[in-house]
Amino acid sequence: MATRSQTAAVLLAGALALAACGSGGTSQTPAAAGGGGKTLVIDTSFDLKTADPGRTYEPTGLIVGKAVYETLLTFDGADVTKPVPALAESYELSKDGKTLTLKLKQGATFADGAPVTADDVVFSLTRVRDMKGTPSFLLDGVEVAKTDDTTITLTSKTPNPALPFILPNPALGILNSKVAKQNGATTDAQDKAEQYLNGHSAGSGPYTIESFNVSSQVTLKANPKYYGTKPAYDKVVIRNVEAATQKLNVQRGDSQVALNLSGDQVTGMPATLQVKKTASANVIFLLANQDSAISKTTTNAKFVEAVRKGVDYAGLLELAGEGSTQAPGVIPSQILGALPADQGAKRDVEGAKAALAASGLANPTVKLEYPSELTVNGLSFQPLAERIQANLKEVGITVDLQPAPVTTALDNYRNGKEEMGLWYWGPDYPDPSDYLAFLPGKTVGLRAGWKEGAAKEIEEAGAKAATAIGDEARKTAYADVQTKLNASGPFVPLIQPSQNIVSAASVTGLEYHPVWTVDVADLGAK
């Protein structure tokens, strides 16, 4: 699977979204208890650019896309370890992992009542791949063909066992190709359908777009021609609101769901509200640069060992709050191939001191860079960096904290110029292959100055994992990659911070999802 620097864009977009200030007013009618005709109001901090599924890759856009468009495959609730049928009624991956065959469900219709056809699927997926929007990488190297009126074949030149895990992404939502083409859609960079798709629905999902504003509010209404189970809410209003106002709104009943509250903000919520605390799929990690031109200190394997043993992981979890968990490897706990919790590193101060002594480095000083204003799941990097600084001081390592504005920090991170860095990786798609980016010569590996050929055994394990077929074989292969990374790689996985979602007692069925945050069509009312 090709890797790329998407995380950088996501980080920057996330930081910009944090600066957005919401309306937080009371103009919308909250959902009433009881029968139908209800409105659901969701407050979130917008990271939103478009409602065109072929161009969307921002968190808020994926919430909208999931409601309006259907994909060939999806996931059942919060479980991302096994893709399940959606517009496809079944799927089969060939033994060599190169061919994925999908049979289309019969009876699915678009919002205008037209049937969903194999031609719509081929057009939609080809458009995403060849339009070269942000999500086009999802289908890099994948040929899309209609075998017959009910069969689609996706073919890759190399084994692509991740493809069933990629297809549920709302960016791969299926468009009504006839309507889309009438409004400027093509399968190349000349496509001009975005403006139309920002105001109209060309999907088969349970909701359609009533109004769309990238800076303030998106309103969805139930699709009257939806062929599946009707959603519980007639209308869903998604508002751009800063976290402090989200808390006030949900407490006073002006909204029913708040998506962006920190661990501190959800403490002491009234018993009338539901608070869901789940480890997010974001992994916060340290990197130690392996380029000797950048540092003679962090390239020392015993120094990296001293850092790994010197960090107080339990203390970082206290900072992160309830719902957070230690990251035993770079693959988060929700995803196939994650290491079991008991394989997480443990603090060993004496072992860290011994490793530092064996390094031959006397009282080393290192610079730790991180984005100063970026928060992940409400958690700021500053207190984490300060805690790590204090932890390593006990070992004999002086850490010089170097916070920087996100754009500056991102440049240094992307260009491999940080001596040590504190960052996070969120899944581009919920498959372990996305984490091969941490290997030498790959996206995150290069950001740590770790060039191809630097760790032959780890690279061979990565190549084996990339081509492994079948859940058990893949689990074993990716666990092996992470065990080797933990033993001799330049990364120290730290924590998965908590995703805190607060909702009114009337809202049922709410599950955190690492791809689309929340599936609004799954939400019930009581």
Show the tokens assigned to 327: 């990251």
pLDDT at 201 over 80: yes
Q: Look at residue 132 in the predicted model and tell me its pLDDT.
A: 92
Amino acid found at 467 = T
Residue 9: band (very low, low, confident or very high) from pLDDT cuts 50, 70, 90: very low
* Banded pLDDT at 7 (limits 50, 70, 90): very low
pLDDT at 23 over 90: no
The model's confidence at residue 373, banded by pLDDT at 50, 70 and 90, is confident
- Copy the structure tokens of residue 486: 């933990």
Options 1.20.1090.10, 3.10.105.10, 3.90.1300.10, 3.20.20.70; which CATH number does 283-496 get? 3.10.105.10
Query: What percent of the chain shows pLDDT beyond 90?
Result: 90
Do 424 and 332 touch, CB atoms closer than 8 A? Answer: no
pLDDT (tens digit, 9 = 90+) per residue, 434-465? 999 999 999 999 999 999 999 999 999 999 99
Asked if 101 contacts 193 with a C-beta cutoff of 8 angstroms, the reply is: no
Beta-carbon neighbour count of residue 189 at 10 Å?
9
Closest Cα to residue 457, out of 432, 479, 489, 416? 489
Please answer whether residues 234 and 80 qualify as being in contact, where contact means their C-beta atoms are separated by less than 8 angstroms.
no
**Interval 459-476 mean pLDDT:** 97
Dump pLDDT digits (tens) for 163-196. Answer: 999 999 999 999 999 999 999 999 999 999 999 9
Given a cut of 60, whether residue 35 has pLDDT beyond it is no
**Which pair of structure tokens corresponds to residue 500?**
């805190």
How far apart, in Å, are the Cα atoms of 118 and each of 2, 139, 162, 419? 27, 17, 22, 51
The separation between CA 165 and the C-alpha centre of its own chain, rounded to angstroms, equals 13
Of 315, 312, 343, 311, residue with least CA distance to 327: 343
The whole-number pLDDT of residue 162 equals 96
Cα–chain-centroid distance for residue 42?
A: 19
246, 258 contact by CB (below 8 A): yes
d(CA 227, CA 359): 65
- The domain made up of 6-277+500-525 has a fold known as D-Maltodextrin-Binding Protein; domain 2 (3.40.190)
Distance of alpha carbon 321 from alpha carbon 58, whole angstroms = 26
Predicted confidence at residue 22, as pLDDT, reads 33
Mean pLDDT calculated for residue range 122-127: 98
Amino acid found at 410:
L
How do 375-376 and 379-380 pair as beta strands?
Answer: antiparallel
Cα–Cα dist 471/82, whole Å: 9
Virtual torsion, Cα 358, 359, 362, 367, nearest 10 deg: -140
Give yes or no for residue 27 having a pLDDT over 60: no
pLDDT at 73: 98
Give me the residue spans of the domains in the chain.
6-277+500-525, 283-496
Residue 374: the pLDDT is 84
Rg (CA), the chain: 23
Confidence of residue 506 (pLDDT cuts 50, 70, 90): very high
Cα–Cα distance for residue pair 133/197, rounded to 1 Å? 15
pLDDT digits (tens, 9 = 90+) for 270-318: 999 999 999 999 999 999 999 999 999 999 999 999 999 999 999 999 9
- Mean pLDDT for the chain overall: 92
Task: Read off the pLDDT of each residue in 206-214 and give the average, rounded to a whole number.
Answer: 97
Give the pLDDT of residue 212.
98
**Cβ–Cβ < 8 Å for 242, 20:** yes
Residues 248/484, Cβ–Cβ less than 8 Å: no
> What span, in angstroms and rounded, lies between the C-alpha atoms of 335 and 316?
22
Confidence band of 264 (pLDDT split at 50, 70, 90): confident
Can you count the helices (H) and strands (E) in the chain? 15, 23
Query: E strands, 256-344, where?
Result: 257-261, 273-279, 283-288, 325-326
Q: Sorting pLDDT into bands at 50, 70 and 90, what band is 375? A: confident
Contacts of 35 (CB under 8 A, 6+ apart): none
pLDDT band at 15; cut points 50, 70, 90:
very low
Q: Are 165 and 100 in contact (CB under 8 A)?
A: no
Residue 37's pLDDT is what?
A: 72
Share of the chain above pLDDT 70, in %: 93
